[in-house]
C-alpha cells in the first residue's frame, strides 16, 4: 500500500465524548437506525476527482497541491489508485465513484483512452477484491477537453457527438465490469453561451437521442444498475439543459425515459438553481425518480459551485428526511462530491474533511429518522390536506362546481399553515 497517509490510523467510532480527531464521534457503521445498519442507510462513497485528481486551483489561481501521483503517465495513475484505495480503507468507505479522466491520463486517440481505462480497471478490480470497496457509479468526463467546449451530446459538430457516444460506451462497459451499481450522466457543458449561434430544438433532440442510446445499451449488455442524470444549472454555460429536477423530468417525459432514468442530486447544484437541497429531493421523490445524492455544500457568499464538505446538520437532516420518506437508497448512496480548500495541503486534511462530513451525515440521518418515526410532521401535513378526503371538486366540471358553490353558499376562510410551529418541531430533533 501507499505511504502517503503514513501514520494515519484507520478511523473507528469512539462516540461523542472522544477528543480524538481521527475518530468518528457520530458515525457508527453498525448502529441500527429504523431497522437498518447506519452504513447501509448512508452508503458513503468517495469522489475520485476531488480527492485525487483535483490540483487545488480555482477561477483565479492555479495548482496549490503537490501530490506524488500528479502526472500524465500510467505509472502515476497506478500510484493514484494505490493512494485512493488506501484512503478508502482508512475511512472504511464502502463505495467510490469516478470519471474516466480522473483515473487515466488523456491519450492521443480514442483507442488509447479506452486502452488506458481498461488497464486501470484491471488495477481497480484487484483492489476492490482486496479491500471490499465497491463502485457506486462511473461516468464519463465530457467537459474538460477543448473538444467539448460546445458540449458533448448537444455539440453542433456530429463528430464530437460520436466521440462522446463512444466514450460513454467505454465507461459503461468498465462500470458494468466492475459491478457498478449506477451509471451517471452529467452534462457539464450541455448548454449554450449565446442564442445567436444556438439551435435549441436541434440540441435538445441530440441530448434526448443520446440518453435513449444509453438506456438501450444498458439493456443490451445486461447492466442491472440505475441510469442517473445529475441536474446542474449555469456554471459554466449561461443556460444548461439539465437545469433542475423538474426540468430534467420534463425532458425525460419528452423522450419516453421517465421509467428508465432517475436523478443523482447534488446539494451545491440545487443551490445554484435557486432551490434548497430538500426541495430537489422532495421533487424527485414525488416524481418517482430519486436515485442517489452528491453530498456537499456551497459557500452562500460565492456565485459558483464551491463543493465544500457538509457541516450544516439541520440542512443535512432535512435532506435525509426526504430520502428516508422515499424509502431510502436502493442502488444509490451518499457520494461526497466535496473537495478540500486550496489552502488545506496536508494528507491529514483529506482524511479529516471526510471524517467530519461522515459525522455530520450520521447526525442528520439520526435526526431525520427520529422525525419520521415520531410522525408528528407527517400528521401535520396530512391534517392540512384532510379536507380533500371525499371532496367532489376534482371530478366536477367548472359549471357544476360553480353551481355547487352557489347552492352551498361557500365562503371559505383562510387557515394557518403553521410554518413556525413546524420549524420549531424540526429543531426539537436536532
Rounded-to-integer distance, Cα 45 and Cα 250, Å: 29
Known catalytic residue: 216?
no
Give the pairing type, strands 95-99 and 134-139: parallel
Rounded-to-integer distance, Cα 105 and Cα 72, Å: 5
Query: What are the cell numbers at 42?
Result: 448512508
Rounded-to-integer distance, Cα 307 and Cα 338, Å: 5
Q: CA gyration radius for the chain?
A: 23
3-state DSSP of 305-351: CCCECCCCHHHHHHHHHHHHHCCCCCCCCEEECCCCCCCCCCHHHHH
Q: Any idea what DSSP says for residue 297?
A: B
DSSP codes of every residue in 56-123 = S-BTTB------TT-SSSHHHHHHHHHHHHHHHHHHT--EEEEEHHHHS---SSHHHHHHHHHHHHHH
3-state DSSP of 105-121: CCCCCHHHHHHHHHHHH
- Preceding amide of 163 cis, omega within 30: no
> Are 289 and 251 in contact, with CB atoms under 8 Å apart?
no
Rounded-to-integer distance, Cα 117 and Cα 124, Å: 10
Known catalytic residue: 102?
yes
Phi and psi torsions of 143, nearest 5°:
-145, -25
Selecting among 26, 41, 99, 279, the annotated active-site residue is: 99
> Are 372 and 378 in contact, with CB atoms under 8 Å apart?
yes
For residue 73, what are the contacts with CB-CB under 8 A and spacing of at least 6? 105
Selecting among 28, 102, 173, 337, the annotated active-site residue is: 102
On the 0-12 / 13-18 / 19+ scale of CB atoms within 10 A, 103 is buried
Q: In 3-state terms, the chain is what percent helix, strand and coil (to 5)?
A: 50, 15, 40
Q: What residues are labeled active site?
A: 99, 102
Amino acid at each position: 500500500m501507499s505511504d502517503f497517509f503514513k501514520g494515519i490510523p484507520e478511523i473507528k467510532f469512539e462516540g461523542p465524548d472522544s477528543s480524538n480527531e481521527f475518530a468518528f464521534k457520530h458515525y457508527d457503521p453498525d448502529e441500527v437506525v429504523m431497522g437498518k445498519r447506519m452504513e447501509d442507510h448512508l452508503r458513503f462513497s468517495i469522489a475520485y476527482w476531488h480527492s485525487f485528481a483535483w490540483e487545488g486551483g480555482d477561477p483565479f489561481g492555479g495548482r496549490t497541491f503537490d501530490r506524488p501521483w500528479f502526472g500524465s503517465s500510467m505509472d502515476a495513475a497506478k500510484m493514484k489508485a494505490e493512494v485512493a484505495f488506501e484512503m478508502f480503507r482508512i475511512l472504511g468507505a464502502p463505495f467510490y465513484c469516478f470519471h474516466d479522466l480522473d483515473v487515466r491520463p488523456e491519450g492521443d486517440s480514442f483507442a488509447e483512452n479506452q486502452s488506458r481505462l481498461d488497464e486501470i480497471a484491471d488495477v481497480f478490480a484487484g483492489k476492490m477484491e482486496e479491500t471490499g470497496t465497491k463502485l457506486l457509479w462511473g461516468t464519463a468526463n465530457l467537459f474538460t477537453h477543448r473538444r467539448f467546449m460546445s458540449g458533448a451530446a448537444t455539440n453542433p459538430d456530429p463528430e464530437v457527438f460520436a466521440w462522446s457516444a463512444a466514450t460513454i460506451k467505454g465507461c459503461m462497459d468498465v462500470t458494468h465490469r466492475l459491478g457498478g451499481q449506477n451509471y451517471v450522466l452529467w452534462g457539464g457543458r450541455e448548454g449554450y453561451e449565446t442564442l445567436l449561434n444556438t439551435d435549441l430544438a436541434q440540441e435538445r433532440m441530440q441530448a434526448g437521442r443520446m440518453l435513449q442510446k444509453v438506456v438501450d445499451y444498458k439493456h443490451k449488455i445486461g447492466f442491472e444498475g440505475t441510469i442517473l442524470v445529475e441536474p446542474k444549472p449555469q456554471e459554466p454555460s449561461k443556460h444548461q439543459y439539465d437545469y433542475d429536477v423538474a426540468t430534467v423530468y420534463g425532458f425525460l417525459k419528452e423522450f419516453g425515459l421517465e421509467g428508465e432514468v432517475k436523478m443523482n442530486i447534488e446539494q451545491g447544484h440545487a443551490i445554484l438553481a435557486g432551490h434548497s437541497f430538500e426541495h430537489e429531493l422532495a421533487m424527485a421523490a414525488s416524481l418517482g425518480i430519486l436515485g442517489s445524492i452528491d453530498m456537499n455544500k456551497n459557500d452562500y457568499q460565492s456565485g459558483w459551485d464551491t463543493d465544500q464538505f457538509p457541516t450544516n446538520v439541520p440542512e443535512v437532516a432535512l435532506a435525509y428526511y426526504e430520502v428516508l420518506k422515499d424509502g431510502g437508497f436502493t442502488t444509490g448512496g451518499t457520494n461526497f462530491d466535496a473537495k478540500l480548500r486550496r489552502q488545506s495541503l496536508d494528507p491529514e486534511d483529506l482524511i479529516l474533511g471526510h471524517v467530519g462530513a461522515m459525522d455530520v451525515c450520521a447526525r442528520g440521518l439520526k435526526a431525520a429518522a427520529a422525525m419520521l418515526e415520531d410522525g408528528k410532521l407527517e400528521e401535520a401535513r396530512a391534517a392540512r390536506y384532510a379536507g380533500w378526503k371525499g371532496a367532489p371538486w376534482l371530478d366536477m366540471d367548472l359549471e357544476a362546481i360553480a353551481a355547487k358553490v352557489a347552492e352551498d353558499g361557500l365562503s371559505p376562510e383562510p387557515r394557518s399553515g403553521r410554518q413556525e410551529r413546524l420549524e420549531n418541531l424540526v429543531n426539537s430533533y436536532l
